[in-house]
Structure 1
Amino acid sequence: MRLVPALFSVGLLLVTQGCAAPSALWNFDRLDKIGGVSARVEGAPKQIDTPAGKAVQFDGAKDALFVDTHPLAGAETWTIEAVIRPDGGAFEQRWLHLAEIDPKTGQDSATRFLFEIRVKDDRWYLDAFTTGEGYKVTLIDPSKTFALGRWYRVAMSYDGKSFKSYVDGVEQAESPLAFKPQGQGHSSIGVRMNRVNYYHGAILKLRFTPYALSPDAFEAMPQGLN
């Protein structure tokens, strides 16, 4: 009888020691710091009120935020989630860019994550992309489109073998990926790091997790949206 509690204690210790690192949640209650990290504003992105709290709205022309960290640097597996509202505009829009910085030059390397949308008529579809040494994969399916002007949960994840993308918990595309962890760097929100392909729409939150989440563990759609 004494053995059961002992085994339970050992098991609990192993689970505790094996716990993965926590997620980093980026809200937009303030724009000078995002996720506790210094940020820089370009253009005039606006904080807007939603039933779920503050979001940031981008004009698709000059609005952007730059954050002094790469939230998934060093991660071998990962999940990126966001709650976004695409509002139309140009065909190609990059709304999240995580860039590795070459420690020798201090410049951005070619290694990066990109989260994008494509807009056609009154619809949009998702584009998830990552590249680094020995790998380069784009996940995109133009047949899976969604109405503009509504809030959606989007995600991309990597479990050590497969790279997947999702909208509202439904898989959009999948590919094998021989991923290698990315180094330290920085991030841009609302535009690609080199200031092309601005995003027209709003973002409520971002979450970065250094392991692969299943869709049932994704952030739920906040109450009151849509």
Structure 2
Amino acid sequence: MNKNYCLLILFLGYTLIPAQDTLVWKLNNPDTVGNFKTSYLTDRPSVINTEYGEALIFDGVDDGILVNANPLGNADSFTIEVFFRPDSSSDISNYEQRFIHIKNSDDSRRILIELRLKKNRWTLDTFIKNGDSKCTLIDTSIWHEAGKWYKAALSYTKGIMKHSVNGREGMRGKIDFEPIGDNGTISIGVRQNKKSWFKGIIREIKFIR
């Protein structure tokens, strides 16, 4: 086979691989996240020094921020990874904590990364909504110790959503999801309707599109 022809096949093969891009949001300033100005959902989270650098700490009562942007854009497959430290709490009202919430303008499409907390243990809960279709992933047989750092991730591709903690897959489910698009918003530390406040520290959010 002609050498140039082989190189052409190789080049064309690579061009068929979908391109990925990654956004990394360092949370070290409550007024600006990912080069976007934020607004506060009741109160302003504080900056704290950690062993991994500056991060935002949320009090689990009324700290939350809103960004008028959708970091996933028009991606039809994605991974969201959060580097965070959930804290323990004796307040039973803090059982449901929704710390990442992305939605479109009419709330017909929604993505949530959440946790369920029992004093000093937590389990991951993730949710995707597309119109009337919904999928929730939660396994209450898997619990993690609060007060430690974790990477929680939610991924979606080709009708399958799955989540993991520290790279270990927990659950997966089926749902067809349409891109949220450019009219989306994201809240950090609370659901956008100011319910289910997160208590702990968030250092970084990574979006792979």
TM (norm. structure 1) is: 0.83
Within 1, Cα distance between the matches of 2:120 and 2:152?
19
8 A contact 2:44–2:65 mirrored in 1 = no
Within 2, Cα distance between the matches of 1:160 and 1:30?
35
AA of the residue aligned to 1:197: S
1:128-207 → structure 2 map (5 Å cutoff): 128-183=126-181, 184-207=183-206
Q: 1:14 to 1:46 in 2, by over 3 A?
A: same
TM (norm. structure 2) is: 0.89
8 A contact 2:30–2:44 mirrored in 1 = no
**In the alignment, what sits opposite 1:91?**
95
Residues 179-202 of structure 1: per-residue CA shift (max 9 Å, x gap): 222232111000000101100001
**In the alignment, what sits opposite 1:77?**
77
**In the alignment, what sits opposite 2:65?**
65
8 A contact 1:133–1:180 mirrored in 2 = no
Shift of residue 21 of structure 1? 3.5
Shift of residue 95 of structure 1? 0.5
Q: 1:29 to 1:120 in 2, by over 3 A?
A: closer
Q: 1:13 to 1:37 in 2, by over 3 A?
A: farther
**In the alignment, what sits opposite 1:218?**
none
Within 1, Cα distance between the matches of 2:193 and 2:171?
27
Residue 15 of structure 1 aligns to a residue whose secondary structure is helix
**In the alignment, what sits opposite 1:27?**
26
AA of the residue aligned to 2:162: K
**In the alignment, what sits opposite 1:122?**
120
Within 2, Cα distance between the matches of 1:18 and 1:85?
35
Q: 1:146 to 1:99 in 2, by over 3 A?
A: same
Residue 8 of structure 1 aligns to a residue whose secondary structure is helix
**In the alignment, what sits opposite 1:43?**
43
Tell me how large the CA RMSD over aligned residues is: 1.8
State the percentage of identical aligned residues.
34
Instruction: Figure out how many residues of one structure are paired with residues of the other and give that number.
Output: 203
Residues 140-180 of structure 1: per-residue CA shift (max 9 Å, x gap): 00110000100001101112132101001111111111222
Within 2, Cα distance between the matches of 1:207 and 1:175?
22
Shift of residue 16 of structure 1? 4.8
Within 1, Cα distance between the matches of 2:73 and 2:131?
14
The unaligned stretches of length 5 or more in structure 1 are 103-108, 211-226
